[in-house]
Structure 1
Amino acid sequence: MDTKGPDKKERLLEALEQGMVMIHLDARRPGVLVPAHLRSESHLRLNLSYRFDPQDLSVNDWGIRSTLSFSGTRFTIAVPWSALFAIASHVTKELFWMYPDDMPPELVQQTMVTSKVPAQEVVAPSAPPVEARPRAVLREVPGEKEAPPEGPPEGPRDEPPTPRKGHLRLVK
C-alpha cells in the first residue's frame, strides 16, 4: 500500500458517512478492475454510497471494492489507493480532496493549460509538451425577436387540452 493510502481511506470513509461520494481515478493503473470499455480512461469518475444495492461496498487497506451498475449491468469494481486521485462528496460541497502526485500526467498538463499557464512552464517527467489551445468564447448572436401573438390562441375552446404523457420515467 502506498503512503497516502491511510489518508485516502480516512477521507473516503468520512465522506461516505455524509452520503454519496464521487471518486476520481486513473483506470489504466495496475490493479484497477472496471468494465472493459472504461479500462483506457485516464479520468474515470465513479459514484459510491453505502445505500447502493447490493450493499457490498468495501473500503480496506488495499483500496475499494463494490458492485456498481454500468448501463444497467452490474459489475464488481476494484480500485487500489494508488489509482485514486480525488474524492468529492455529493452531499457537502466542502468535502473535496485531491492528490496531485497520483493524477495522470496528461490530466495535470491539461489543467495547467486551461488555467492559462504557458506550456513551457509545465514540467512533467516523460510527458510530451502540450500546446496551448485557443479558448472558445460565447457571444450573443443578433436575430429577430418574435413578438408574442396577439389575441387568444386559436383552436377548440370547448374541449380541454389532451393530457400529454410525461417525459420522466421511474428507473428501478
Structure 2
Amino acid sequence: MGGNDNRFESKRTVFVTVGTTSFDSLVKAVDTQQVQEALLKKGYTHLVIQMGRGSYIPKKSSGEDGSLVLDYFTFSPSIADYMRSASLVISHAGSGSIFETLKLARPLIVVVNEDLMDNHQSELAEELAERKHLFCARPQTLNQTIEALDLDSIIPYQSGDATPVAKLINRHLGFPAD
C-alpha cells in the first residue's frame, strides 16, 4: 500500500445492531451472499454486527477475496462509537437504537422482527419511514431494500420537537388527541 492513506477514507462501514435482544433472522440476513453483494455494489467495505443474545454466528471475513470485511461481537458498553463511525446502520426496531442513530444523522435501515408479538416497534419504524427519516425492511426483504437504497431521499430528523412522536405513541395507546 506504500503509505496510501486514502484507503482509510474509502472505508465504508455498515454497522448492524440487534440491541440487547436476540434477532437471529436479522443476523442471518446480513450474513447472506445476496445482502453482502448488495452492500458491496453500494460501495460499502466493512460489516460489523452486534449480535446480542443471538445464537447464530456469522462468518468472519478478512475481505481479501474482494468480499466485505466482516466482524461481530455480542455486547459493548456503548455502541455509540460504532454508530458514529458507520456509513450505514442496520438496526432492529427498538426505539432507543432508532433515535440514537437518527440523532447521529446516520442513514438507517430498520429491520422489523416479525417474530415479536404485539409489534408496536414496527409502527414507529413504519411511521418514520413514511416521513422519509429512515428505511424499513423485513429480514427477507433486506437485500431489495439495500439495492433500492437512495440516501438522497432521506429527510434529516429534527430531534427538537417530540410532539409528533408523542402524538403517535398516545394514539397507539388509545389516549385522546389534544
TM range (shorter): under 0.3
Between Structure 1 and Structure 2, the one with more helix by share is 2
Between Structure 1 and Structure 2, the one with more strand by share is 1
Larger radius of gyration between Structure 1 and Structure 2: 1
